[in-house]
Amino acid sequence: MTQDNPLLVPWTTPFGVPPFDLIRPEHFAPAFDQAMAEHLAEIAAIGGNREPATFANTVEAMERSGRSLERVGAVFHNLSSSLGGEALEEIDREMSPRLAQHGMRVSLDPALFRRVATLHRQRETLGLAEDEMRLLDRMHLNLVRSGAALGEIEKARMTEISERLAVLHTAFGQNVLQDEKAWALPLAESDLNGLPDFVRAGARQAAAERGLDGYAITLSRSLIEPFLTFSARRDLRQTAYEAWIARGMHAGPHDNRPLIPEILALRAERAKLLGYPSFAAFRLADSMAATPDAARGLLDEVWGPAKHKAAVERDRLLAVARAEGFNGALAAWDWRYYAEKVRRADYDLDETEMKPYFVLETLQRAVFDTATRLFGLTFTPRPDIPVYHPDVRAYEVRDAGGHVGVFLADHYARPDKRSGAWMSSFRDQEALDDAVSPIIVNNNNFAKSQPTLLSFDDAETLFHEFGHALHGLLSRVRYPSQSGTSVRRDFVELPSQIYEHWIALPETLRAYARHHDTGAPLPDALIDRLLAAQGFNQGFGTVEYTAAALIDMALHSHPAPQTIDIVAFERSFLESIGMPAEIGIRHRPAHFQHLFAGGGYAAGYYSYLWSEVLDADGFEAFKEAGDPFDAATAARLRVLLSAGDTRDPMALYVAFRGRPPGTAALLRSRDLVTV
């Protein structure tokens, strides 16, 4: 079977990219079986080594183990998210608990832990380099946090919890996807009042993809948000908005509400087995924030100013609505619609006027050219590199030293594709034995049309995700577990968020915001109005985000999460924090995939704001240098991006910035400074 399974043989493709044209769903189960067996044999050999534990025969041997499993897993998990489909979903349901069980067998192996613990006790006498010391510290900490130091009964329970959470996480994500695939709002010509041409084109494409006549709005953010912004039909806005916020809340097999208390209870139990009072305390102990109180303190610092600014924004929206004859209460499906009218009135800024200048292909070039000016990178299209879908574009990335890596751009929404935007990797950079270059992918969910026109927010998302991509591409580490984005959760958003600043530069906009028909640049007057409006609607944006971060922390600090009625809890919690009725929380719990389709951002959604403190403060280093492309500042930033997890993140930041960060730049950037 091995020679017939493309996942289990060497790849002869350019740069070792997976041979997507040869890989079929039926290849994954046997590949996982063989890769897990190989990994367990490697772990047994490390633990059973009769030689005394050394850094080389234990820690470095661990770094070399499981490479086949990592390769198979990277292909599978990326294709499950980006390509999807029933066959991959079924494999995900089957494999997720088995992979969780396998991971716990490795983490809880007693012989392995004895060797790592011995080295950790001796660490100051081993003469380790900085990256080696951090690798040993983190490896020991991760094993302890997995339960390796517990008794046998507790270890068995930790494994049961891990397996069950894997099942629940997979089900949660698939339930949201099913709701997104199942819903569409068909529109006739008479329903299009207020919709600009780019929304109509996206709706026409969405209808065609679903075999519908005319037009359709789907639950892709790239369609639903512009529909809520421009549709003059309040009844249809309400229908679309209510469908958007009801994902995961439909009674039946795809209902996520019963899953949430169980997920929370299992996480809380795991934390208590490890000696923590709550899952939030457990998660934050290994973060830059260190404690839930510190994370909540940052959120509280912006919550009051954000609500104050949102109230001012609401009153301005109501004034416009009243002038148009609307006398009811402002609802969540009204905010974007009237906000666009206010933006036109107060800033002479019309998204329909701007959007023809924001062409996806041109902005992708802006993303690349910015990286060229900052870091000396070049991006060459490589149609010979295999891709997993015709929408995907492949590029070779190089710098003065030669080949850097491969970048895959997958920008369009598809019915089976996970919603949202993200960066991932098919292979991480390392140099333990040989130099291994990264294969990085960016996913977006833009509505496909000809041409594909973006909003300014979409353009920021394009830059944001590529900031993550640079973190992976520019990694220069020795050990694979320290590569690229393998850093603390409240540090990982710094590279992505700081990169957003370059799309807002006047020189970037003049060069790359070009009209799709005429090629004319975005007029300077329009650039001035766009930048003047950067603080516009920031009360709304900060409130909807911060509410989601606060409820995340509350859920994961709850003393008895198994008793939670999630609908009642959400309602009560939002009332307790004074959530404005006209603003919806960014992610309701039943479709909050950051929290419940996996554990990565659980008790960690605050990290976007924590990282924004760093990025707002950090970009001011370029301002202080007087040049957004200052070579010396860019060189220091590249050091931060290349370091992965080889150093403490605050030490990396201070080395870049020259001092610890402060919140003043964040409050200014969101226009939340109150007098």
Phi-psi category of residue 402: left, alpha or beta, with phi > 0 → left and psi -120 to 50 → alpha: left
CA pair distance 514, 251, nearest whole angstrom? 47
Closest by CA position to 647, among listed 131, 91, 99, 100 = 131
Task: Tell whether the torsion through CA atoms of 389, 393, 398 and 399 is positive or negative.
Answer: negative
For the question of residue 465 being annotated catalytic, the response is yes
For 609, the token pair is 């704001």
Q: DSSP character for 518?
A: T
Q: 257 with 590: CB under 8 angstroms?
A: yes
Nearest CA-CA partner of 163 in 258, 99, 214: 99
Residues 6+ apart with CB under 8 A from 172: 248, 256, 259, 263, 593, 596, 597
DSSP run (H or E) holding 300: helix 292-323
| Catalytic hit among 60, 465, 544, 612 | 465
Q: Which amino acid is at 305?
A: P
Q: Residue 153, class by beta-carbon neighbours within 10 Å (0-12 exposed, 13-18 middle, 19+ buried)? A: exposed
Pair 467, 499: CB distance under 8 Å? yes
In eight-state DSSP terms, residue 626 is: T
Tokens of 107: 């983490």
Centroid of chain to Cα 541 = 17
Q: What b-and-e string marks burial along 518-552, b requiring 16 or more CB atoms within 10 Å of the CB?
A: eeebbeeebbebbeebeebbbbbbbbbbbbbbbbb
Question: Residue written as tokens 């069980």?
Answer: 101
Catalytic residues: 465
